[in-house]
Structure formats: structure tokens, C-alpha cells
Structure 1
């Protein structure tokens, strides 16, 4: 079960890398659809910079999660993963209140599932 748990956590990390790709490189129409924003807003140069900045955070956070899985084991990895997944859940809750509720389901729910698996099965 530990391998499956780490696989699920890795999927959460890959999701964040994918979100970073959307935020940084996708066409404005795709970004507007993905993030429930008006196309005109997404095309604004300030919004592009903000999305790219947010993309860097999401991408590096995903990479960091993958690196933690590779370099740590046992109780240390369990603690790191719990903290990182709690962070994602917190950000998803904030995003649900300030941006769009689908963030809660698309980012928060996978992180919550991974958190439950880590808490139960990763020792």
C-alpha cells in the first residue's frame, strides 16, 4: 500500500506541474476556460505575468514533491508529505473562496485523498 500511496502523491505532484504548464504556456482561451476567467483579462499583460508567476510556484512545488519522494523515506518523508498536502488543501480552500470553487475539487480533493492515504498507510 505504501507504493500506491506514493504513486498517488506523485500524481498530485504531476498535477501541479501540469497546472504550471497551463498557467505559463497555454493559449489565453485555454487559460480562461481552465481558470474560469474572462479571455480579455487573461490576455492582459499584467494577468499574463501574474499567471506565469503562479505557474512557477505550482511547477516548482510539484517538482519539490517528487524530489521529496526520491530523497526521503520513513517518518521524515511522511511528515514532509503531510505538511505539503496540508498546504495544497489550504491553498485550494482559499482558491475556492477567492477564485473558483472547482479548485477545491481539482486540487484540494486529490490532495485530501493523498493525505488520507499517507496518514493511514505510509509508516
Structure 2
């Protein structure tokens, strides 16, 4: 169970690195506009907001990776729970405020990781 949980945590972290790249660097390009179905004008008007959002996704990724390398088991568990819950809350808000599919894409791996993490403890 622990190996599955840690694999899902790593996957969640990698997804958030991907979100960071998309929102900070690809937002106004063809890929960013296609993913979010925006015109060039919409992308340019929201560029700074997206970059800020991307930075926060990077912080979530950093916390998830930190939790995987933390040597002290109890603290590592607390970090994992905290950052996974942060991702789930962000996914719920994103699903409510932007697009329901965000809950599956962003929240799905984090929810699965949290379930396996709690089962392993």
C-alpha cells in the first residue's frame, strides 16, 4: 500500500509540475489556449493570473516531493496528508468555479493517493 501511495503522490507532484509549466510558460501559446479553449486575447488578458496560479501549483509539487524524501516517518506522513488535502481542496474549488473535469484530472490522483496512504498507516 505504501508503494502505491508514494507512486500516486509522485504522480500528483509531476502533474502539478506540468500545471506549472502550462500556466506559467505555455499559457498564451497554442497549447495553453487549446487546453483552456481561449482566444489569444483571452490568454493574454489572463496571463499574469495564470502565472500566479502556476506558481502555486509548483508549491504544491514541492511539498509533495518534500513529503517523499522526508526521513522522519511521522513528519513525512503529516506532510503527505497536508499537501494531498491541499490538492483535493484546490481540485474541488477548480471543479466548482471553472470546470467539473478538474476534480478528476487534478483531484483524482491526489484522492487515490490519500486513500492508499491512509490504508497503509
TM over 0.5: yes
The TM-score, its normalising length taken from structure 2, stands at: 0.88
Unaligned runs of 5+ in 1: none
- Over the aligned positions, Cα root-mean-square deviation in angstroms equals 1.6
CA deviation after TM superposition for structure 1 residue 43, in Å: 2.2
Alignment of structure 1 residues 25-104 onto 2, 5 Å = 25-26=25-26, 27-44=28-45, 47-104=46-103
The TM-score, its normalising length taken from structure 1, stands at: 0.87
Q: Distance in 2 between matches of 1:5 and 1:12?
A: 10
Q: 1:115 — aligned with what? A: 114
Q: Which has the higher contact order (CA 8 A, sep 6+)?
A: 2
Q: 2:2 — aligned with what? A: 2
The number of equivalent residue pairs is: 120
